Structure 1
């Protein structure tokens, strides 16, 4: 239980600062005796309050992504998150698990070089590069489906897409990333509580939930005070670490 509590704190803090909390929470729940699918659903449920708490800390820092309104982006995240959760409960996860490391590697490369690529393309065309509002919403829907189904590094992927598609700085996009992560998790949680075994081990779930709330609040306060370059370094370090661990089977 101590390990589960500490994993919850770490996962909540990671989600607030840059993403990757699922990769801490999921192994801890599996080690506590939950099946992989149940652990996946339970980790989403446990991380919801911490993510919502982080979003509350960031509420005054929210800024629209590109030309897309916050409301439209949130609605898409809610719908996609619910659909992804439904897929988790109805489809086998074997083939998707095999693709996860490659998805993470792709997101990490885009996150690392996305803004540079955006600037190069912009200079070559002589005008700013920017995704249309429709493209932003389509991309967010696909990410939300992934987030509801698995959730690992979906926040990192969001920043990667916004970075290369809009040239958005990691620090500027982090508050909206946390808010959309909360929307995805809330939608998926509603379905998991009704149709999964997420409540089969209530003591384990509550222990991780408490840790995630503490980590989420603390992580959001810390992230708001970090310089942009340092926050970007933390996000990239998390992305690289999680990608390597997944390729190694960790």
Structure 2
């Protein structure tokens, strides 16, 4: 990569780290940038996943106050995320590259729809919250988190929004506390799939390092100031970048 390309990847990592903590869908920023600087889709996805791990951890630490009293929930749902992340990573590495290139545009479209609909989703979640929801979630929550982990290990864009939608409907907790859980679960998925990628996949280490540094800073900033920022501009940027990614994959 050139100097300017490296700076673009670093900036994308910062932006993605902050978005992941506040909204989710940071992959829709970093993944297209890696494609734009010339990395093949699978290498870009693997390297992106590894690079975002430190930012996920930073975001989870930043939400430690909201995590208080949620250890049983984290242990239960964390196992689902770990198992799902392993399966998703294995699917990424075993399915033909052509399958990934065909599936990713669809995944990005779905993720973009979720990003656009997030304000309406949040209002619906608040309206549907009831006092009789199970405190740690039943089998439906566990299976949903597992399937989201599979998706996250395979690609990952908007897994945070999916997790918030699932837990917000089925768990009686304020969204900020659920957002804290979401950050931990996303960190687990990225970490376990990242370990698998290191062992058996082709990794572009320069972008991994650049995204890791950027996402660490972005995760810290997102946890500090995320509640004060309107996500409208972030969603707009994500949509634009996501559409550019679809165009690049489809049109080559």
- Do 1:19 and 1:238's aligned partners in 2 also have CA atoms closer than 8 Å? no
What are the ranges of 5 or more consecutive residues in structure 1 without an aligned counterpart? none
Say if 1:133 and 1:7 are closer, same or farther in 2 by CA, change over 3 A. same
- Do 1:118 and 1:165's aligned partners in 2 also have CA atoms closer than 8 Å? no
Structure 2 residue matching 1:93: 3-state secondary structure: helix
- Do 1:26 and 1:40's aligned partners in 2 also have CA atoms closer than 8 Å? yes
Task: Give the aligned partner of residue 87 of structure 2.
Answer: 83
Q: In the alignment, does 2:221 pair up with 1:218? A: yes
- Do 1:10 and 1:215's aligned partners in 2 also have CA atoms closer than 8 Å? yes
- Do 1:129 and 1:166's aligned partners in 2 also have CA atoms closer than 8 Å? no
Question: In structure 1, how many angstroms separate the alpha carbons of the residues matched to 2:125 and 2:215?
Answer: 35
Q: In the alignment, does 2:52 pair up with 1:47? A: yes
Task: Give the aligned partner of residue 32 of structure 2.
Answer: 27
The equivalences for 1:41-190 within 5 A come to 41-62=46-67, 69-91=73-95, 92-104=99-111, 107-108=114-115, 111-114=118-121, 116-117=123-124, 130=133, 132-166=137-171, 168-190=173-195
Question: In structure 1, how many angstroms separate the alpha carbons of the residues matched to 2:32 and 2:83?
Answer: 27
Question: In structure 1, how many angstroms separate the alpha carbons of the residues matched to 2:84 and 2:69?
Answer: 19
What are the ranges of 5 or more consecutive residues in structure 2 without an aligned counterpart? 1-5, 248-252
- Do 1:108 and 1:160's aligned partners in 2 also have CA atoms closer than 8 Å? no
Match of 1:38 among 35, 43, 51: 43
What's the RMSD between the two structures over aligned residues? 2.8
Say if 1:164 and 1:242 are closer, same or farther in 2 by CA, change over 3 A. farther
- Do 1:143 and 1:154's aligned partners in 2 also have CA atoms closer than 8 Å? yes
- Do 2:91 and 2:154's aligned partners in 1 also have CA atoms closer than 8 Å? yes
- CA-to-aligned-CA distance 1:185-222 (integer Å, 9 cap, x gap): 01110111011111xx3223212211111111121122
TM (norm. structure 2) is 0.81
Question: In structure 1, how many angstroms separate the alpha carbons of the residues matched to 2:69 and 2:103?
Answer: 31
Task: Give the aligned partner of residue 209 of structure 1.
Answer: 212
Task: Give the aligned partner of residue 238 of structure 2.
Answer: 242
- Do 1:63 and 1:176's aligned partners in 2 also have CA atoms closer than 8 Å? no
- Do 2:112 and 2:242's aligned partners in 1 also have CA atoms closer than 8 Å? no
Q: Could you list the runs of 4 or more consecutive aligned residues of structure 1 that deviate by over 6 angstroms after TM superposition?
A: 119-122
* Segment drifting more, 110-119 vs 206-215: 110-119
